[in-house]
Chain A
């Protein structure tokens, strides 16, 4: 069986006979040649049955032997559903048939065919709809019968990526018309991208005669000489708004599959025509092929597709196929001419091979190969995606574009018929028009883009379409013979199924598609849509034009999830001290895009050390906005609920910011560094939001205010030095600032030099409740300052502390966190910060709502909570309920075991009726137990008077 069907060298063959390629097929070792597709290599080895059909498991052979072949899906190692008519053969390939068990030769599931009359369209829906409780069982059983290959979950992911492109013209289709259009557009000065589905440019010319191949070579050479970017083994798989084209590039040296997002100024659609199968009894037997398949197998791959052939021809390609067969030594027993009214009615033979063909005149001809050339389908998908609805032409017996779209032009068979020279001439005119129109589009883009090369104010006139019209050659309307056969090979849908469905009331093309699944298979209608419409038209006694088509949506060709995903861009933010954290064993935590140190081994120890000695923590992610201008105080007064007009230089104030609905938006401290210079801090996660919020007030409500805002969050490395020894430590590294409590009181800000680094900003504030300083130093020296502090503080008991220790200490101190202890509904009036809400201000964001909220007595409140059992640490978000019921009265928002107090501590939001200090609460733990807790008198569990903080 080794390449027994391989012919001697053919003039246009693509195979390299000097390079044999070994592969296996269902475990059997075979050989082919470099340049073979899997389909041509199997065919050369006289393999006739390559798959089993989806539902009835009928043996199937190659029908088109190209990318769209519905019978050619195979498993290649761990790669399922490989299109064997397109995938090139490679050394060592392990190829297996799919959808057959235990083997392709003897498939038990073929028993489905015995009960086929009961498995008509809608069978699954009708049979397995009830009882509903058995759906999980049905699912498990039916999954075993699902077609397709096997997915290996351990398959390496491979490298996929994406690319953006902005060509002037994208030409979809690399046949003679596509190439001619691309050349003309490039010669007219356009930047052109030519996308070809196959492995080489040339289209149908490649399997034509000497003249055809010569033209293919000439055009291909001219394409490259014109500087066109050529993508082969690639498909324009979608056309979206404004000619945003999705191109799947299947062969790339670096990427398994690449998605190119190309914004074309003009799209030229030149995909050629796709040969249409003919519907008749036995039309899916191995040995029934379309004329293009036969011509490709013979001329490109030197494969003899059979020994004795019958050719059913309704056009010149069928005639050419008969000539190629004769030249290849295949006996052409009979040519049936569809143009003269001759017809075929059935293919007979065993399940696995054709043996004879029954003609309409009642005669029968022995054959193992039936070649069908019944007509063409126009793949108008990209035009449909551009909004066009195709129109059926009865003369040509196919669909054509229904309208003209300014920036989507059509060339080749999709536009009409003619000699190759006529089609090339039309295509060249299309390319020129595309280039001319792209120039106008480019002019518009440049005119409205500030950075672009300037263009004249007058837009060029939009070029009119003066291309010669192409003819529409008559073609017999051959869709279904007098017998019934398969319409959708992928879905195992026959013409009988369609007629029955129409009879059941599914008589619109959209309904019949979904009920029968015709056109929903891997070919997505390219081979079966027109036949489906024709059969439905016949059943409804209407014309094809009256029935119409369904709408083609992207993707035109499949695209892997890997290409859609591309490189996974997940921005990561780190501070300048990150290398130190990593080197010293910090356990990282992801906080938004930031990677921060959660702890360095024992967060409770970090808390104890900070409270007893001194600790430093990296707070660089703290949002920081540089505010400059004479009207900064006005802006602060507008944004915050409290007053800012009299903040002294060198002073810091805390504020709460509300949205216009009175809900807490953010909080932070702002310091006045100089007369017209302030530094605002925000929460880490709120920095961008607050910046936009502030800018929106300036740009929309107060454009007259002179304020400049610049985000400087990461321009400073921010280090919090906290603990009783913090002042002593800071003294050792700061030369030019008086750090005495009177000179530098709590809530003060100074600028100076820290560890030799000038332009540092120092705050006397603290989130932890300890005496503390926040040092903000230019980030390019942040690590130096951090290391200096550690060195200088070694005798003071210094140790770093991470985010977890900071959270414990702030909870001990009762400092709430916006977004943790507040949510999207928490009003400022619920925070217990009434003293910071100054209703006597003329205005501030959210004032009306806040005023109204303060008048209510039923708003929930943030309160400090302690469980009666000090060892019980409720999980955050545990519900608080009315005793003895499930009525929710609140929830725990923050909760930790406090190493300082050696007991659990919490913050929570509770209903007003239970917010009074001393109120007993019932907390429902996540394991269902209920524990008692009590509302504390202050938010702070530790040092409520703030003596340590103000030390």
Chain B
């Protein structure tokens, strides 16, 4: 398969292509390759009840992060396998749409104690714990780009996932790195993520899966 020029192992081209490497209290991780499935349904529908996630909040379930990004839209984040498995369990009777936005969004994570302080330089949202607690979801302008932002702490460390239109990815990443320099950010890039055609890169998928398991360590179901 590797020798066939028309069906090689397909490399996911991240929209964030410029690497930065400095050390410090913040980390920035490119998570653009994570699957992102958008479910659109009426808030009163059985689908919405199954998703059990109100607008403005998120919760982890079976290895995915379900985010209520709009009153009638939910963004499911995780590995490809886990996301499609989650969608497969949904009651899709009636007017329900599932749109794969994996390639449509750039997405990265900023983690560390000063992560909110870095975001304060780019975004007017109130990041205090009572207004934006863990697993809160907010749509806001970050450096003049509309983003969905999910607070998703890990092991007690403050962490935010930022998703924007793919085409803004490099610009936004650069803006966040600039803001984070004050706190000496470390940016790591996953530019060697391989998603095999009709196959599975266990190592990579596991890395992505790890990001979206809950703190109890529940793993996504096997493919």
Q: Which residues of A contact B (CB under 8 A)?
A: 161-166, 191, 253-254, 261, 263, 442, 445-446, 449-453, 567, 569-576, 579, 593-594, 620-621, 626, 628-630, 706, 708, 710-716, 733, 735, 755-759, 778-784, 788, 791
Contacts and interface: CB of A to CB of B under 8 A. Distances in A.
A130 B175 CA distance: 53
B90 to A, nearest CB: 15
Tell me which of A261, A452, A575, A593 has the highest count of chain B C-beta atoms within 10 A of its own C-beta. Answer: A452
Contacts, number: 161
Given A446-B130, A569-B143, A706-B95, 18 more contacts: A161-B121, A163-B120, A164-B125, A450-B54, A451-B57, A451-B136, A453-B133, A573-B165, A573-B168, A575-B167, A594-B167, A714-B166, A715-B166, A756-B4, A756-B8, A784-B10, A784-B13, A788-B6
Contact of B102 (A191, A446, A711, A778): A778
A756 B130 contact: no
A951 B57 CA distance: 53
B97 interface: yes
Contacts of B5: 788, 791
A96 to B, nearest CB: 33
6 contacts: A261-B124, A574-B167, A626-B99, A710-B99, A713-B165, A779-B166
- Interface core residue of B126, B165, B168 (most chain A CB under 10 Å): B126
B97 A708 contact: yes
A576 B15 contact: yes
Contacts of A573: 165, 167-168, 171
Contact of B178 (A567, A758, A783, A788): A567
B132 interface: yes
Contacts of B85: none
Given A630-B95, A784-B11, A712 B104 contact: yes
Nearest to B72: A708
A601 to B, nearest CB: 24
A373 B131 CA distance: 49
Nearest to A716: B103
Nearest to A733: B6
B170 A451 contact: no
A263 B133 CA distance: 19
Interface in B122-169: 122-133, 136-138, 143-145, 165-168
- Of listed B104, B128, B145, residue having the most chain A CB within 10 A: B104
B131 A449 contact: yes
A162 B179 CA distance: 10
Nearest to B15: A576
Residue with the highest number of chain B CB atoms closer than 10 Å, among A191, A576, A594, A779 = A779
A780 B104 CA distance: 9
A260 to B, nearest CB: 9
Contacts of B124: 164, 261
B58 to A, nearest CB: 9
Contact of A782 (B13, B105, B120): B13
Interface string B192-203: 000001000000
A453 B130 contact: yes
Contacts of B172: 571
Contacts of A716: 103
B181 A780 contact: no
Contacts of B99: 626, 628, 708, 710, 712
Contact of A710 (B7, B11, B38, B55): B38
Contacts of A621: 167
A864 B168 CA distance: 38
B40 A710 contact: yes
Contacts of A628: 40, 97, 99
A575 B128 CA distance: 35
B171 A571 contact: yes
A698 to B, nearest CB: 11
A783 B13 contact: yes
Contact of B56 (A449, A574, A779, A782): A449
A714 B167 contact: yes
A391 B132 CA distance: 42
Contact of A780 (B38, B40, B103): B103
Going nearest first, the 7 A-B pairs with the smallest beta carbon separation are: A715-B104, A451-B56, A450-B56, A573-B167, A756-B7, A451-B136, A166-B126
B204 interface: no
Q: Main SS of chain B's interface residues?
A: loop
A629 B6 CA distance: 34
Nearest to B129: A453
A124 B153 CA distance: 65
Nearest to A631: B95
B169 to A, nearest CB: 9
Contact of B10 (A446, A572, A594, A757): A757
Given A756-B197, A784-B13, A715 B130 contact: no
A784 to B, nearest CB: 7
B122 to A, nearest CB: 8
A715 B103 contact: yes
Contacts of A451: 56-57, 131-133, 136-138
Contacts of B113: none
B130 A254 contact: no
Contacts of A784: 8, 10-11, 13
B148 to A, nearest CB: 12
A594 B165 CA distance: 13
B12 interface: yes
A239 B169 CA distance: 35
B190 to A, nearest CB: 12
A757 B13 CA distance: 13
B207 interface: no
A164 B138 contact: no
A452 B6 contact: no
A17 B102 CA distance: 64
A905 to B, nearest CB: 32
B17 interface: yes
A629 B131 contact: no
B182 interface: yes
B79 interface: no
B203 to A, nearest CB: 18
B87 interface: no
Contacts of B56: 449-452
Given A572-B171, A716-B103, A165 B33 contact: no
Given A712-B99, A756-B197, A452 B133 contact: yes
Contacts of B97: 628-629, 708, 710
A779 B171 contact: no
A567 B178 CA distance: 9
A621 B175 CA distance: 22
Give the most central of A451, A570, A784, A791: most B CB within 10 Å: A451
A783 B103 CA distance: 13
A571 B145 contact: yes
A450 B54 CA distance: 8
B118 to A, nearest CB: 10
Contacts of B179: 161, 567
Given A450-B56, A788-B5, A780 B121 contact: no
Contacts of A780: 12-14, 32-33, 102-103
Contact of A166 (B10, B128, B133, B170): B128
A780 B166 CA distance: 10
B196 to A, nearest CB: 11
Contacts of A756: 4, 6-8, 10, 197
Contact of B132 (A452, A576, A630, A758): A452
A161 B166 CA distance: 26
A714 B133 contact: no
A109 B168 CA distance: 57
Contacts of B11: 781, 784
B130 A452 contact: yes
Contacts of A714: 104, 165-167
Contacts of B15: 576, 779
A593 B33 CA distance: 24
A163 B166 CA distance: 26
Interface string B202-218: 00000000000000000
